[in-house]
Amino acid sequence: MRKRLAALLPATALIAILAPAQAKTPAADTPAAETPAADGLAPVTIGADAQKNEGLTVATARAGTVSRVLPALARVMPDETRVVHIRPVGSGKVLAVHVLAGQRVARDTVLVDYVDHSLHVARLQAVQMRAALNAAIAARDDAAAAYRRARDLAGATIAAGEVRRRLAVLQEAQNTVLARQADVATMSHRFQEEFNSVTERDNGDETSQDETSSLIAPVDGTVQSVSVAVAGDIEPGQDAATLVDLSSVWIVSDIPPQDAAHIVPGGRQVTRLGDRALASRIGSVDGMAAPATGLVRVISAVPNPGGALRPGMMLDTELQTDDRATGIVIPSEAVQQVNGRDVVFIRTAPDIFRPVPVTVALDSGGSAVVTAGLAAGQAVAAQGSFALKSSLLLAGTGGG
């Protein structure tokens, strides 16, 4: 039989047939299959394209401390320290109103013009005081000349007693000049500081016949209200207009007293304005609840250079509390619930994620603190980790 096969087949084929069967072994470069972890959760394999489609991102676990946050509804209010009430110093009639409520104005913008009757009276007084000063100066000069003559003729035609009398007259005249100079200086100061200030400008000088004054904006800001009208009366101390500087505003939250007890001034606050997150520090927490609402007011000052925050807006905000935990910090979205346990997917290879149970001590809504099951520096699936959970659960049901 062997002779007949040798005659019919090539030598190589004959060797293959007659050789004993050998067990097949896997190739040396074939990776070993992932085995389930000791906790029974098998690793999940997901390719690069699938990761991209699911929006899967990876974050690095780090050691740190996270505080719990209190979500609240907040409203935007003007910073009360930046609200300016424009009040005239004089009384009269309104000539013109140059602005409207809600209008943005620059510093030194004229808001209101009015005829200032007080300015008219003050200018008349200034004229009288200058005239009195000139008369006092003339009287002093005459007294000085008379004293010099008496001094030169003393002992000849003028007695020593007359010299002393004329000296006393000169001294009194000098005192009168000083008093009149003080009156004029006081009136000049009044024109400079009262009729001309950061909120008002006198449109003439001390000798002018122009009796108009202008109320002006002391800062860049927004006109909150205008309470005068053309041809209307205006009085000293009356609120003619209110101007608010909105370069910084208040974020005000009203919260229950039991929650306010855990809010610490100086803590972090994050307010949502559309897609933007505005970070600030909690400035103050009222010491008692408002009688009308029973709520405690929390205030945070927020820069508002672009004017996007307008008084009256309602926004969502988060207030940092004194409830905090220290451990391994990861994004909150990295934690998934699997079979009633908190699980995090650790990346062990570019396309392999190993699920591990963890102990979550605190979740602030943005970050979670893990105290067991995870180490700093490990890469975990963050956004899109729900897709890994779905794959894990699907594989557990036999769906592949």
Question: Residue type at 308?
Answer: A
Q: Phi and psi (nearest 5°) for 113?
A: -110, 140
CATH (residue range 82-243) = 2.40.50.100
CATH (residue range 69-81+245-324) = 2.40.30.170
Q: Which pLDDT score, from 0 to 100, does residue 347 have?
A: 96
Query: Which has the closest alpha carbon to 312: 188, 224, 220?
Result: 224
Torsion sign over Cα 146, 148, 154, 160: positive
Q: Phi and psi (nearest 5°) for 34?
A: -65, 135
Q: Which pLDDT score, from 0 to 100, does residue 234 have?
A: 95
Q: Phi and psi (nearest 5°) for 170?
A: -65, -45
Rounded Cα distance, 121 and 119, in Å: 5
Return the structure tokens found at 389.
Answer: 């959970």
pTM higher than the cut 0.75:
no
- Strand 44-45 with 241-244, pairing: unpaired
The residue written with tokens 């087949």 in the block is 9
Q: Which pLDDT score, from 0 to 100, does residue 397 have?
A: 53
Cα distances (angstroms) measured from residue 184 to each of 176, 211, 212 = 12, 19, 22
Return the structure tokens found at 81.
Answer: 């320290």
CATH (residue range 44-66+325-396) = 2.40.420.20
Q: Which pLDDT score, from 0 to 100, does residue 154 have?
A: 83
Please state the domain extents for the chain. Answer: 44-66+325-396, 69-81+245-324, 82-243
How many other C-beta atoms lie within 10 A of the C-beta of residue 357?
A: 17
Q: Which pLDDT score, from 0 to 100, does residue 32 have?
A: 38
Q: Could you list the pLDDT tens digit for every one of the 400 residues in the chain? A: 444 434 444 443 333 333 343 434 333 333 434 445 546 688 999 999 999 999 999 999 999 999 999 999 999 999 998 999 999 988 999 999 999 998 999 999 999 999 998 888 888 888 899 999 999 999 999 999 999 998 888 877 888 888 899 999 999 999 999 999 999 999 888 888 788 888 999 877 656 667 889 999 998 999 999 999 999 999 999 999 999 999 999 999 999 999 999 998 999 999 999 999 999 999 999 999 999 999 999 999 999 988 899 999 999 999 999 999 999 999 999 999 998 999 999 999 999 999 999 999 999 888 999 999 999 999 999 999 999 999 888 876 544 4
